[in-house]
């Protein structure tokens, strides 16, 4: 798997609802999300020349389409991957032994996602923090993300990029 696709995989990942007693409202999770933070015990996300900036999630039935915008050496690129929901809590599976689980979200401002990926015979898990805003990085969800990742390590924070802005405006 090349580094660019790996970035897409890492960016498009995981989401399991924080409150197990409630189901994820798929219609509310759809839309634009800008990546603000990444936490992992592996530094795999740092080894790729393609840096994820934002996602646009859309739903059709039980399928989740993830349009990913990333910066590749200064150029904006997009890629789409389609996953299928496997249960009502918002777990999605994607080709290549990948899963996305929503850990926590308020739907309007932030989402904390967990990516699970089997790559080169190894299991990888990455937590990601996303906001709906192009500018607000440290809102209510950031404290939750920081608490969830206190023992994991934080690798990226608040990359401002034109690729995220172009995706939000529907220009890419």
Structural domains in the chain?
A: 3-168 (2.40.128.20)
Say if residues 48 and 7 touch (Cβ distance below 8 Å): yes
- Burial letters for 87-118: b for 16+ Cβ neighbours within 10 Å, e otherwise? eeebbbebeeebbbbbbbbeeeebbbbbbbbe
User: How do residues 78-93 score in pLDDT, each as one tens digit?
Assistant: 999 999 877 657 788 8
Q: What pLDDT is attached to residue 69?
A: 95
Strand partners, 80: 67
| Residue 69 vs residues 79, 149, 164, 169: alpha-carbon distances, Å | 7, 24, 6, 12
Cβ atoms within 10 Å of 151's Cβ, excluding its own: 7
The yes-or-no verdict on residue 65 having pLDDT over 90 is yes
User: Is 68 a residue whose pLDDT tops 60?
Assistant: yes
Residue 2, Cβ neighbours under 10 Å: how many?
A: 9
């Amino acid at each position: 798997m090349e580094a660019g696709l790996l970035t897409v995989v890492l960016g498009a990942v995981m989401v399991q609802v924080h409150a197990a007693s409630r189901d994820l409202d798929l219609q509310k999770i759809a839309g634009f999300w800008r990546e603000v933070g990444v936490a992992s015990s592996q530094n795999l996300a740092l080894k790729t020349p393609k840096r994820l900036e934002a996602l646009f999630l859309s739903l059709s039935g039980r399928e989740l389409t993830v349009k990913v915008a990333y910066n590749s050496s200064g150029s904006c690129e997009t890629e789409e991957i389609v996953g299928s929901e496997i249960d009502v809590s918002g777990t999605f599976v994607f080709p290549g032994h990948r899963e996305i689980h929503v850990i926590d979200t308020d739907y309007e401002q932030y989402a904390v996602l967990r990516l699970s990926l089997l790559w080169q015979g190894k299991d990888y898990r990455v937590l990601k923090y996303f906001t709906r805003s192009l500018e607000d990085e440290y809102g209510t969800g950031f404290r939750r993300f920081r608490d969830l990742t206190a023992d994991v390590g934080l690798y990226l924070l608040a990359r401002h990029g034109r690729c995220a802005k172009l995706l939000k405006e529907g220009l890419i």
